[in-house]
Structure 1
Amino acid sequence: MRQRLILGVPRMTYLGEGWDSRAELVDGRWVDRRPRRREIGPQLRRETVVMPWLAPQLPLPVPVPVVVSEEPLVVRHELVPGAELASLNAVQGRQLGEFLLALHAVDVAEAVARGVGPRPLPVERFRAEVRVPGGEELLAGVSGLPADTLVHGDLGPEHVLGADGVLTGVIDFGDLHVGDRAADLAWALHATPPEFAAAVAGTYGVTHELRERALLWHQLGPWHEVLYGNDIGDPRVAAEGLAGVRERLRIGVSEADA
């Protein structure tokens, strides 16, 4: 029996969900996002204020959402082209370096006026829930780092899109905040192939001090996964985060020895 498309009814395809929101593709063109928890609502609304201002200042496509439903809250943006990268090359590294230079040059005062602020680290929860050798030293290392730059806040392989060997967009600006520029370099410098990392560093102008700060943020990344697993009551997620904490702390020790 042939399936008929009812006029006026959008075609919805489930895309997946992250820690904060779930997404659907609408008519092959639009992405609808819904908060997974009530406290995420203000974060999605903030994106509808900040991203229309920020997007024209960036050299790669990014989501520019608008509110399409108040209750339940739904924000919609045009689908950013590309897919999660299967491989990384120097061309893409230069593109990401240029993207970060543009993002980090944005006027912080203008961002603050649109509701973007600092994001304090949950240090006490880290101490209580992530107890590992070397943990206190890491927390002390990140506690005094600068917070003077607009940063993406969650830049990793799942949020950098590409096609045909080039970058095509950057997504998921829910963690956008005023923080340390080195946080956006953590994955790019310390978890990617050498040719990609070198191209990012050369384009951005990474110094030795900035690279060391980026390593601290790279080591801290899985700590958030432990807390998230505890929050949702999933011991498997928390255990995976804890394994990542230990592994990245070992990487830091080996790099220091080198």
Structure 2
Amino acid sequence: MTYRRPVTTSPLPRHPKIEIDVDADLARELLVQQHPDLADLPLHGRVFGWDNLTWRLGEDLALRFPVREASSTLIEREQRWLPVLAERLPVPVPRPVHDGRPGLGYPWTWSVVPWLPGAPVAATPVAGRTAWATELADALAALHRPASPDAPTNPYRGVPLADRYPVMVERLTPAVPHADALREALDAGLAAPRWDGAAVWVHGDPHPGNLVSRDGHLAGLLDFGDLCAGDPASDLATAWMTFDAAGRAAFVERTQAVQAWDDATWVRARAWAASYVPVLLAHPEEYPLMAAVGRHCAAQLARG
């Protein structure tokens, strides 16, 4: 049997980069082929991210499929390293419970992961996030430990700002809100001393779309596809993406109590936050929640 693209009456989902869709039929057929013990569970609640789509499987599991070749190896990174890192983290993460192989014409590795109940933080009121700001600080502090010598690298996260600065500045067009303040943050980060410590584990993308909250607590840290070793500043940018002033103060205070990063690390973190704004705003119709995160982050940075 070969993979079938959706017919013209059922077009590909609205997604700027999608190359391959995984409809319910294909997901079910892959389960029958590779994990038949799960094949009778209901499939529901399909959602798309930038690199992957997720089908909820029953009540407690989910299927995670890459949708484009450029990101197809990120799932393999999660399969390799989340079993190692999950044990040290004080918050649930989608550690794969089964690996999926290419099959039926679908060309990439995929995963069966736990479903983490709760609300995507990007869809929750910002003021309510202060309640668990210290929990996110603890989770990232637990992650930001010296990385293994064979840890993956990532040209887009954890690297010196100088490596990304030309692209970051180019994206700050006049259409980006608070562009002048964002440029000031980028320039300050570039001028700050570079990270000179041991490379630590970096999540790579702890924005509010990859956080789950429930009953006033942080209930999940998702999407470790950008996991790498490097400078923790690119993760600490979540202070501006996720929180208001009160939440950010709680997050920073707790982080400093545990990690005591130097001032330069926070200057670089602020620069990384500025760099994410135009990316978050790039596709407002396809990703309205991410666009809202981008506007919030820009406003927080503009306030100083």
TM-score, normalisation: structure 2:
0.65
Measure the CA separation in 2 of the matches of 1:138 and 1:102: 27
* Distance change in 2, residues 1:68/1:251 (3 Å): closer
- C-alpha displacement of 1:89: 2.8
> Higher mean Cα deviation, 137-146 or 167-176?
137-146
2:129 aligned with 1:88, yes or no?
yes
Q: Taking every aligned residue pair, what percent have the same amino acid on both sides?
A: 24
* Distance change in 2, residues 1:145/1:54 (3 Å): same
Q: 2:83 aligns with which of 30, 49, 52?
A: 52
- C-alpha displacement of 1:48: 0.3
Indicate the SS of the match to 1:63: coil
Does structure 2 conserve the Cα–Cα contact (< 8 Å) formed by 1:11 and 1:27? yes
2:53 aligned with 1:22, yes or no?
yes
The number of residues matched between the two structures is 236
Measure the CA separation in 2 of the matches of 1:50 and 1:236: 30
* Distance change in 2, residues 1:193/1:48 (3 Å): same
Measure the CA separation in 1 of the matches of 2:95 and 2:56: 15
* Distance change in 2, residues 1:220/1:55 (3 Å): same
Partner residue in 2 for 1:200: 251
Indicate the SS of the match to 1:155: coil
Q: 1:179 aligns with which of 212, 216, 230?
A: 230
- C-alpha displacement of 1:192: 1.1
- C-alpha displacement of 1:129: 5.1
Indicate the SS of the match to 1:113: coil
* Distance change in 2, residues 1:48/1:190 (3 Å): closer
Map 1:61-140 → 2, pairs under 5 A: 61-65=92-96, 66-71=98-103, 72=106, 73=108, 74-85=110-121, 86=124, 87-90=128-131, 92-105=132-145, 107-108=146-147, 110=148, 112-114=149-151, 116-120=152-156, 123-126=165-168, 130-132=172-174, 134=180, 140=187
Indicate the SS of the match to 1:175: coil
* Distance change in 2, residues 1:191/1:9 (3 Å): closer
Partner residue in 1 for 2:277: 222
Does structure 2 conserve the Cα–Cα contact (< 8 Å) formed by 1:119 and 1:177? no
Partner residue in 1 for 2:43: 12
* Distance change in 2, residues 1:35/1:131 (3 Å): same
- C-alpha displacement of 1:141: 4.6
Which blocks of at least 5 consecutive residues in structure 1 are unaligned? Answer: 1-6
Measure the CA separation in 2 of the matches of 1:56 and 1:161: 18
Indicate the SS of the match to 2:129: coil
Measure the CA separation in 2 of the matches of 1:93 and 1:138: 23
Measure the CA separation in 2 of the matches of 1:56 and 1:185: 21
> Higher mean Cα deviation, 211-220 or 138-147?
138-147
- C-alpha displacement of 1:211: 2.9
Does structure 2 conserve the Cα–Cα contact (< 8 Å) formed by 1:189 and 1:211? no
- C-alpha displacement of 1:221: 0.5
* Distance change in 2, residues 1:125/1:81 (3 Å): same
Amino acid at match of 2:92: P
Does structure 2 conserve the Cα–Cα contact (< 8 Å) formed by 1:189 and 1:201? no
Q: Deviations over 1:100-125 (max 9, x none)?
A: 111002x31x2x525x1132455554
Which blocks of at least 5 consecutive residues in structure 2 are unaligned? Answer: 1-36, 157-162
Measure the CA separation in 2 of the matches of 1:252 and 1:184: 16
- C-alpha displacement of 1:223: 3.3
Measure the CA separation in 2 of the matches of 1:11 and 1:98: 35
Partner residue in 1 for 2:15: none
> Higher mean Cα deviation, 164-173 or 206-215?
206-215
- C-alpha displacement of 1:159: 1.5
Does structure 1 conserve the Cα–Cα contact (< 8 Å) formed by 2:189 and 2:269? no
